[in-house]
Structure 1
Amino acid sequence: MTEMDPDDPDEAPAAGHAAEGPVPGDPNIMTSLVRGLAVIQAFSRESASLTISQISQKTGIPRAAVRRCLYTLRALGFADTDDGRQYVLRPRILALGHAYLSSIPLARVAQPLLRRIADTLNESCSIAILDGDDIVYVARASVSRIMTIDLHVGSRLPAAFTSMGRVLLAHRPPAELDERLARVTFQPFTVHTIRDVAALRAEILRVRAAGYSVMDQELELGLRSIAVPILSADGAATAALNVGAHASRMSVADMVEKILPLLREAAEELSLCAG
């Protein structure tokens, strides 16, 4: 006997891409929750303020359902509108992410260590995990902004074009790595960006052998970074630790000589929290 109430329009199977949820046709999927989460995810740094029509277009959810989602989010303090047309998320939405981050001992325990490294080197230090084909920042101690985008906890970057992403990819099983590489979209971020699968695979294999990754201005001109894996007790790379610096302040050789030992020492300490 299913828990779905067929008389509840929010529980009934819905048409449309966004309403189908992760398992189309599954009667146990709560469509209203799927829709609410989709509405929240429609907002971004580039789309901080959206109308009902814009959200409907981005998510594929009918306007009436979007309106109900926003009404509920506003009643709970997660969203707001000044004019009844443009909606924004409120700071309380961070509580949803905080619940996840606070459940990760690594993110909580790592922060003082990241701050110590950042203060010692006067460079920003971060931890990220793999999420799909991206890395997601789960902890960060920022010293100065060296990228055109403002990185913070929750920021996402393509794994294939980041030092932390390549460290994590280097520890995936061969078959999984093949699948991930087949999905990579190659973009010429800079003149230094790797442009094809063969070159990317060769670099990831080099990272696997070396135990660390250095990115030299591939994602953004002027940005260099170095990363190491944070290993769990069974040897799996559950997260990655990196330091980023401006190319004018530090050469690749300097990063390997001065930063790599600090990162390896920190990663070994954090591995106790990696499960």
Structure 2
Amino acid sequence: MANKSSDVIAAFTKGLRVIEAFDAQHPRLSVAGTAVRTGLDRATARRCLLTLVAEGYALHDGKYFTLTPRVLRLGMAALATLPLAQIVQPWLDQLSERVGQSASVAIRDDTEIVYLARAAQKRVMSIGLMPGSRLPAHCTSLGRVLLAALSEAEARAIVERSDLVPHTALSVTDPDEIMTRVAAARTEGFAIIDQEVEIGLRSIAVPLIDGHGRIVAALNLGMAATQERADSLAETYLPELRRVQAGLARVIG
């Protein structure tokens, strides 16, 4: 049954918008910055931020607000209950151990990917990735595989409303070129990213398919650019990724 407007708590909705305003590109926000990112007036943004501080979900240095680890409680519990996250974790642990690289599984949420599970051998990125972390879909191997699962029109619509600001000098920012690479991922069944998210990081991803043939998530391996040439990733790692992909296809409902 659809919710009546009278059943919706407006203040709670605004508080959630404030929490979502923080991300990897905006880890610190002022009242004014929060108002801009949420579309709320400054007084409302300020009250929401101070409420988060009062409840231990944020810190305030007098000008800027930052979220505290406590906010992870809001998402970690939900992620932990997802059957997919529980199913893939041991497979990731074993894959990561076999190849000596970090392995991850993610799903798509509009223009972003959300990490569900991860097994890290070493820290390659400057930001620490964990379940619940988000990155743009258009410039990640996981994201391009997931975009490839959509129709051409659906994928293009997502790319065109994405924030295409380059993360590195190697980032692909032209929508047509991004779509060309998404099309290649659709044809080849995998995607490779060469330092588009962060200099020094390469990755290769494949889709995860359930027992009904639907792409439900993506699996990748990430490694330092000093370890592997981009043109050798498929030869080196694709067989192991395919092995896990096939195994999970038998157990994902």
**TM-score normalised by structure 2 residue count:** 0.83
Give SS of 2:130's match. Answer: coil
Give SS of 1:145's match. Answer: coil
Distance in 1 (alpha carbons) for counterparts of 2:57 and 2:103: 32
RMSD: 3.0
Report the alpha carbon displacement of residue 233 of structure 1 after superposing the two structures with TM: 2.4
Report the alpha carbon displacement of residue 131 of structure 1 after superposing the two structures with TM: 0.7
Distance in 2 (alpha carbons) for counterparts of 1:181 and 1:46: 19
Partner of 2:92: 114
Q: Does 1:229 align with 2:223?
A: no
Report the alpha carbon displacement of residue 138 of structure 1 after superposing the two structures with TM: 1.4
Give 5+ residue unaligned stretches, structure 2: none
Report the alpha carbon displacement of residue 224 of structure 1 after superposing the two structures with TM: 1.5
Report the alpha carbon displacement of residue 134 of structure 1 after superposing the two structures with TM: 1.1
Higher Cα Rg: structure 1 or 2? 1
The correspondence for 1:194, drawn from 169, 172, 186, is: 172
Partner of 2:13: 34
Give 5+ residue unaligned stretches, structure 1: 5-25
The correspondence for 1:161, drawn from 134, 139, 147, is: 139
The correspondence for 2:235, drawn from 257, 260, 264, is: 257
Distance in 1 (alpha carbons) for counterparts of 2:242 and 2:87: 17
The correspondence for 2:156, drawn from 178, 182, 186, is: 178
Distance in 1 (alpha carbons) for counterparts of 2:241 and 2:196: 21
**TM-score normalised by structure 1 residue count:** 0.77
Report the alpha carbon displacement of residue 67 of structure 1 after superposing the two structures with TM: 5.5
Partner of 1:136: 114
Partner of 1:61: 40
Going from structure 1 to structure 2, the CA distance change for 1:58 and 1:173 (only over 3 Å counts) comes to closer
Give SS of 1:94's match. Answer: helix
Give SS of 2:92's match. Answer: helix
Distance in 2 (alpha carbons) for counterparts of 1:45 and 1:218: 16
- Residues 120-167 of structure 1 show CA distances to partners (whole Å, capped at 9, x for unaligned) of 222111111111111111111112222233322222222111111111
Distance in 2 (alpha carbons) for counterparts of 1:219 and 1:83: 30
How many corresponding residue pairs? Answer: 252
- Residues 172-228 of structure 1 show CA distances to partners (whole Å, capped at 9, x for unaligned) of 123312322333454444444334333222222221111111112333333211100
Percent identity of paired positions between Structure 1 and Structure 2: 38
Going from structure 1 to structure 2, the CA distance change for 1:97 and 1:117 (only over 3 Å counts) comes to same
